[in-house]
């Protein structure tokens, strides 16, 4: 009996301590959160006009904040999405931060993290933040809608907004989160060794998941469907550099496994980067693209250029090109399924590639390989 009393005492003590530790955190404009706690579940209307003046800052080590499904609302819902401004939450210069059950709407960027190690986002929703107004119509494309992701050394990507934007965040985990109705969902620069799992980043007008100088990441079991622009069925199909996945500028050794990226401008868009074009060195190399579905892209199911990668066991149905592999080298394309593409595999000026054990069904052309006599003068060391 005495032992049972002692056990009950310690259980009660632990319960008391946890209730004291899980402090109730108050949200207001300009607040700086530096300790663990939870937030009252309600709507917080907290607009801001600048990315340099975030509504909430989280900074410190070993912090866990449960937002209890609270909604952080920036600009009013009746405003047009291309007028949304500011930054909802900034996490910076921290270690071991966990954010759970947070919703953010109506900002240029929902959540930004800079110089954070072991950041964890769980069950958060960053939908309906900034997106550009398109000038293209059903009948005619306007080329002003084309995006460009070629440079991001100085965070140029921020001009397009994002649900989530990471820079210098190693070993991050993004689990069971959602971004829809925006332009870009998750954008990562100089982020290594992270895990992006079981998220839904669909129905945006730009990019589902974007990587820039980011390597050794695992990206698996995500939905990045219908991230598309520049498409009018039967009239024009341009993509305008929208994609389920964007992989740019020396992003190496990443694994993309069992994701769905259908009906996007490109299902998967990989480009070696401007530094490779300037000096002929590097690339986005040794990425594993395995077991994904990149079907129904108006342009390319997979575009991989100037790089060396493994593309295996993917599904590529009803695209213009199943795989466009211009200037790919030492790339393995194996065990993929192609159906109803205009050209299943198209590689201009490829070198030492292996194409084997693929299935082609009703493609207008299965494989096209060719080379041009001369290369553009502005390709530096290429």
CATH code of residue 318: 2.160.20.10
What total of structural domains would you count in the chain?
1
Does some domain include residue 24? no
Does some domain include residue 331? yes
Residue 201 half-sphere exposure toward CB, CA atoms < 13 A = 33
Residue 127 half-sphere exposure toward CB, CA atoms < 13 A = 14
Asked whether residue 19 carries a pLDDT value surpassing 80, the answer given is no
Q: Domain span at residue 179?
A: 39-136+160-370
Contact yes or no for 197/221 (Cβ under 8 A): yes
Contact yes or no for 315/344 (Cβ under 8 A): no
Residue 382 has a pLDDT of 46
Q: Dump pLDDT digits (tens) for 242-286.
A: 999 999 999 999 999 999 999 999 999 999 888 888 777 788 999
Q: Dump pLDDT digits (tens) for 314-367.
A: 999 999 999 999 999 999 999 999 999 999 999 999 999 999 999 999 999 999
Does some domain include residue 144? no
Does some domain include residue 377? no
Contact yes or no for 330/308 (Cβ under 8 A): yes
Does some domain include residue 204? yes
DSSP secondary structure letters along 101-159: EEEEESSSEEEEEEEEEEEEEES-B--S---PPP---SS---GGG----S--TT-GGGG
Residue 78 has a pLDDT of 85
Asked whether residue 18 carries a pLDDT value surpassing 50, the answer given is no
Looking up tokens 């790919």 gives: 328
Reduced to 3 states (helix: H, G, I; strand: E, B; else coil), residue 347 is: strand
């Amino acid at each position: 009996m005495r032992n049972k009393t002692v056990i009950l005492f310690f259980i009660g003590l632990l319960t008391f301590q946890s209730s004291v530790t899980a402090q109730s955190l108050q949200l207001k404009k300009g607040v700086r959160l530096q300790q663990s706690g939870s937030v009252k579940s309600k709507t917080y209307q907290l607009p801001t006009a600048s990315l340099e003046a975030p509504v909430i800052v989280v900074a410190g080590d070993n912090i866990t904040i449960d937002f209890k499904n609270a909604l952080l609302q920036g600009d009013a819902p009746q405003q047009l999405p291309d007028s949304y401004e500011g930054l909802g939450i900034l996490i910076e210069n921290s270690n071991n931060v966990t954010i759970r059950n947070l919703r953010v709407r109506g900002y240029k960027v929902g959540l930004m993290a800079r110089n954070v190690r072991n950041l964890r986002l769980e069950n958060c929703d960053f939908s309906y933040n900034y997106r550009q107004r398109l000038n293209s119509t059903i009948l005619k494309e306007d080329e002003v809608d084309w995006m460009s992701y070629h440079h991001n050394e100085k965070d140029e990507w921020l001009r397009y907004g994002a649900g989530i934007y990471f820079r210098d965040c190693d070993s991050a985990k993004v689990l069971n989160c959602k971004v829809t109705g925006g332009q870009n969902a998750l954008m990562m620069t100089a982020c290594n060794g992270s895990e992006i799992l079981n998220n839904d980043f669909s129905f945006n007008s730009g990019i589902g998941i974007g990587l820039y100088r980011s390597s050794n990441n695992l990206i698996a079991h995500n939905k990045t469907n219908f991230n598309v622009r520049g498409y009018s069925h039967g009239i024009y199909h341009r993509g305008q550099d929208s994609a389920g996945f964007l992989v740019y500028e020396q992003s190496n050794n990443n694994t993309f496994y069992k994701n769905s990226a259908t009906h996007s401008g490109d299902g998967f868009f990989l480009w070696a980067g401007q530094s490779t074009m300037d000096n002929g060195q590097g690339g986005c190399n040794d990425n594993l693209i395995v077991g994904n579905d990149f079907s129904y892209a108006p342009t390319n199911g997979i575009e991989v250029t100037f790089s060396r990668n493994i593309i295996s066991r993917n599904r590529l149905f009803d695209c213009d090109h199943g795989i466009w592999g211009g200037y790919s080298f030492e790339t393995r394309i194996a065990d993929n399924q192609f159906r109803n593409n205009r050209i299943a595999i198209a590689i201009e000026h490829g070198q030492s590639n292996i194409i084997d054990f693929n299935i082609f069904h009703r493609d207008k052309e299965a494989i096209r390989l060719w080379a041009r006599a001369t290369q553009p003068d502005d390709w530096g060391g290429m």
